[in-house]
Every structure is written in C-alpha cells, then in structure tokens.
Structure 1
Amino acid sequence: MRKTYYRNDINITVRLLIVLCIALVFLVYVSVKTTGNIAAVFSPTKELPIYSVETPEKKIAISFDAAWGNEYTNDILDTLDKYKVKSTFFLVGFWADKYPEDVKEIAKRGHDVGNHSTTHPNMPQLSPEKMAEELNTTGQKIEELIGKKPTLFRPPFGDYNDNLIRTCRENGYYVIQWDVDSLDWKELGVQPVVDRVTRNVRNGSIVLFHNNAKYIKEYLPLVIERLQESGYEIVPISELIYKENFMMDNTGRQIQVK
C-alpha cells in the first residue's frame, strides 16, 4: 500500500513538473515575440523609455509628432510664441525632406527638434543595425538643417524593446514616450482633447500631440491657458528630463539619484 502511494506521489510530481516546463516555454515564447530578443527575456531588468519625470516643480512638457502634413505647423508655432511656450517636435525623416524650411523655423523659434525615425517603421522588428540606420539617417538630416544633432528620440507608434533602448543610448539618444496622450488623432473634437490633457497632467508629465491633428488650432490655446492658469510651466523635454544620475521606476518615470 505504501509503495502505491509513493508511486502516485511521484506521478503527481512529474506531471506538475511537465506542466511548469510547458508554462515556462510558453512564457519565453510570448516574451521573445514581444521583445524580439531572447536575451532580454532573462535580463534582470527591462529597459524603459522616459514616460514622465519625478519633480517637485510644476513643470511639464508638450510635444508634437510630425510625420504627415504641415498645414497647421505655423499656427502651432504662432500659438506657442503667443503664450511664451517652448516645446518639442519629433520629426520623421521624410517629413524633414518635404518641409525643410519648417524644420529650420521650429529650431529658429527655440523649440527642441527630436528624431522620430527615417521611415516610421515598427522599430522593434528591426535589427540593431537597421535601428541605428533609422536613427542616424534622420539625425544627420536634422543636423544639416539646423546645425545641431538631435538627442531625443520618440519611437514610431510608441513601440520599443530592449534592443531599441540600448541602440538609442549607444547613439546618443534619450528615448521619450508620454504619460498623457491627447488622442487628438481620433478627431473627437476640441473639448475632449482639452479635458483629457488638463485632467491628467501632473508634475513632470509629457503630453503627446500631433502637428497635423484636425482641431489643433482650436484646442492648443485652450490647453495652454488652462495649464498655465493651474500654475504649470511648460518647458521643452530637453529641459524637463535628467541627463545623468537617474533611475527609472517600473512605470517609466525618471527619478533623479543624488
């Protein structure tokens, strides 16, 4: 009788081990599909871009991704001038090719000019070599136009993996996401954008807009006025983030280490 119980215990243990092994293999498979890198699956820490910044000051940044069209770019720049706000524009390479004078004007008015890739691909699907090519091709274009190499990079679609963060770091870039998405691309109207942004910002927030969003001429002044009335100072991302002596928490919030 004891031998029977013993054999049953062994069988149960073996079955549990088999189930655990299958579960582990499945988790590894899903992680590899997500990160594109099996080494990253077993990495003790995951690389994260900067979503926001921990700061006691009421400072935030607003940013504009520019990939298609320039119909509203001058209106945006005029609005920013009116409210004495400096911002950050992330430019795709083919946009810079098509609108070089706009690139120069953005820089001339004192705004950050960031890199948003060359062809707007899904970056995690690329090899590190192709990632570097996407970065450096547009980086060189921007530098030729404004005389300054960009150091901020926003991944197309907000997609990233460990390889991308490391490749950006190796090429002198800080990877920038956002913690407040205006959802202006959904074209829901003016008030939904104003409400979404002003209700969700906090110290150190980074807000995402698009330079060619349908209602941007109407909602941008309202957003800025509400933020300034609430005591927020709007600064370029380059002035918001920490350049050294920092760590990232698990939400992508950058924390200065003293």
Structure 2
Amino acid sequence: MITLARRRAALCALGALTTVLAGCSSGDTTGNGHPGRPAGPAATASPPAPPTLAPGPSGLTPVFSNGSRTQGRTVALTFDADMTVNQGTRAAAGERFDHPELVATLRRLKVPATFFMTGRWAEEYPAQAKAIGKDPLFEVANHSYSHHAFTSDCYGLPTVPPERMRADMERAYDAFRKAGVERPLPYFRFPGGCYDQRALRALAPGGVTAVQWDVVSGDAFATDADAVARQVVDGVRPGSVVVMHCTRSAAPTTERALRTIIPKLRERGFRFVRVSEQIRSTRVAVARGQGASDGRDFTGTP
C-alpha cells in the first residue's frame, strides 16, 4: 500500500510539472500557434505605390509642374540625365555624360532629389544608375529612351513619331530594369520639356504623370555657377520643382552652383523633397479644395 501511494504521488507530481512546463511554453509560439518553435521572419509589406495625378480631360496624361503652394516650404531638385541614342560614339571617345561628383555632393549634404534618366544613359552607366536607384535619398524617373523630341521644332532634337512614343518610354523602363534600378517611378519628363496634346494622348495608356517644372536653372552649357545659383534661389517658391542637369559635358557648373543653392534655400526655411512628395502634397491640396494652387496643366502647351 505504501509503495502504491508513493507511485500515485510521483505521477501527480509529474503531471503538475508537465502542466507548468506547458504553461511556460504557451508564451513562446509562432504565428501559427506551434509552441517552442522559433518565430519565422516577419512578412515584408510591399512599398506603397508612388502617388500620381488623375488623368486630365479626355483621358490625357496629367502634367505636373509644381507642388502645393500651401503645404509648406518645400522644393524639389530634379536632374536630367541626358544622353541621346546616337551619342554612344561621343561617349566612347571620352565625353562624359555622367556626373559622380554632383551625386556625391547631394549625398554629402543629405539632399533628396529626383533623377530623370534616359534609357540610353542607364545603358551607358548601369552601375551609376543602379546606385542612384538604390539610394533612399533619390528616386529615378523616365526621360525617354532616345531623348528625341515628342513634338516637332524642339531645340533641334530629332522627333519620335506618334506611333512610337509610348514604345520609346517603355524601352527606357526596360533599360532601367536591366541596369538594376529598383522601382523606377511612373513619372515622365519630355525631352526638351516639349509636349502637345498628341504626345499626352500617346502616353496616356502608360499611366504616367508628366513632370515639368516652374524654375529653370539655366545650367545647360552655363559657365557661370554663381549666375545659375542666383537664378534658382530667386525663382524658388513653396512647392517649386527645379530643373537641372547631371551631365558633366553639358552642365559643367551645376555641382558648384549646388554648393550655393542648397545652403541659401535652407537659410530661407526650405526643405528639400523628391518629386513624389510634391505630387502627394498636391493631391492633399486638391482633396482639401485647394486645387487652384497646384501645378497641373492639361492644355498641351509647355
């Protein structure tokens, strides 16, 4: 009898210990409720879709030139990485269409920026295109593949026929992907800034927002960095989009001008943002009934 009683006591003690251990284990479960297993990696949420503007009248591609004038003192610096489809021989001969020093200055000063690349530029400088696309300071948008004009009589540029306009844009996105650019944005800048209703209609099925500007830096082929800086600083208003270039051969003074522009605008209380933030602020302004202050234009006139 004593032996049987001892066995029963031992079994009761073991049962109690099992209950305690189970209770301790119940707090260490994975998302599917299995106790004791290490938790797996958390699901990574997809990045939110970049903001775009709604199509214009008759479904035309929307055109954006500046952010809201009422949503804070923000300014977006944009840089065109221009290279036409027929400039490969010039690059092979030593002409530089990139500007690593300019990109390094933006990084050093912690200035966000939007780069409008041609597909041909991304093909010529794939490592730089990929690095810009991976940098959280920057975003990459489309400047066509060929840098040929989408209208006639546009600064002497060759012209893309209407039936090839969307294909030229899509070819640039293909070049970005091949270069390793992550998440190029659905923003398009017309070569030379030239567009009309035919061009806006041709790109409409692509779902892009055309991005212009309200401040011309005048840096193309400029030789006076101070003059470029003055023109930008004097022209910027809340919500402004500034057009500049990041090609050494075509804009040799831009990097020096930035070293003046950035501190002066910061002294005036401006905050640098990417174009996507300007577009988002415009959508907020429109939702609040402040659409008159945004930079949309559907007339087809640059």
Q: TM-score, normalised by structure 2?
A: 0.63
Answer yes or no: is 1:62 the counterpart of 2:88.
no
Residues 1:240 and 2:281 aligned together: no
| Distance in 1 separating the partners of 2:231 and 2:239 | 16
1:24 corresponding residue in structure 2:
none
Cα offset, 1:149, TM superposition: 3.7
What is the 5 A alignment of 1:198-213?
A: 198-212=233-247, 213=251
Matched position secondary structure for 1:185? coil
Structure 2, unaligned stretches of length 5 or more?
1-56, 84-94, 153-159, 298-302
The 1:185/1:249 distance shift into structure 2, 3 A limit, reads farther
Q: CA deviation at 1:82?
A: 1.8
Change over 3 Å in CA distance of 1:250–1:119 after alignment to 2: farther
SS in 2 for 1:214: coil
Counterpart in the other structure of 1:19: none
Whole-angstrom distance in 2 between the partners of 1:250 and 1:123: 28
Aligned pairs for 1:69-218 (under 5 A) are 70=96, 73-110=99-136, 111-124=138-151, 126-144=160-178, 145-212=180-247, 213-218=251-256
Distance 1:106 1:70, change over 3 A: farther
CA spacing shift, 1:191–1:122, aligned 2, 3 Å: same
CA RMSD of aligned residues (A): 2.8
Count of residue correspondences: 213
Structure 1 unmatched runs, 5+: 1-42
| Contact 2:74–2:238, Cα closer than 8 Å, also in 1 | yes
Q: Is the 8 A contact 2:150 2:165 kept in 1?
A: yes
Q: Percent of pairs identical after alignment?
A: 27
Task: String of CA shifts for 1:192-224, please: whole Å, max 9, x gaps.
Answer: 011000001001110011102111221111111
Rg bigger for which structure? 2
* Cα distance in structure 2, aligned partners of 1:138 and 1:62: 21
**CA distance 1:72–1:149, shift in 2 (3 Å):** closer
Counterpart-to-counterpart distance in 1, 2:191 and 2:112: 23
- Kindly state the Cα deviation for residue 129 of structure 1 after the two structures are TM-superposed: 3.2
Cα distance in 2 for partners of 1:132, 1:47 equals 12
Shift of 1:249: 7.7
Give TM-score scaled by structure 1 length: 0.73
- The structure richer in helix per residue is 1
Distance 1:128 1:141 in 2: 21
SS for the counterpart of 2:265 is helix
Give the conservation status (yes or no) of the 8 Å contact 1:87–1:236: yes
Q: Distance in 2 between matches of 1:218 and 1:93?
A: 26
- Residues 149, 215 of structure 1: alpha-carbon distance in 2 compared, 3 angstrom cutoff: closer
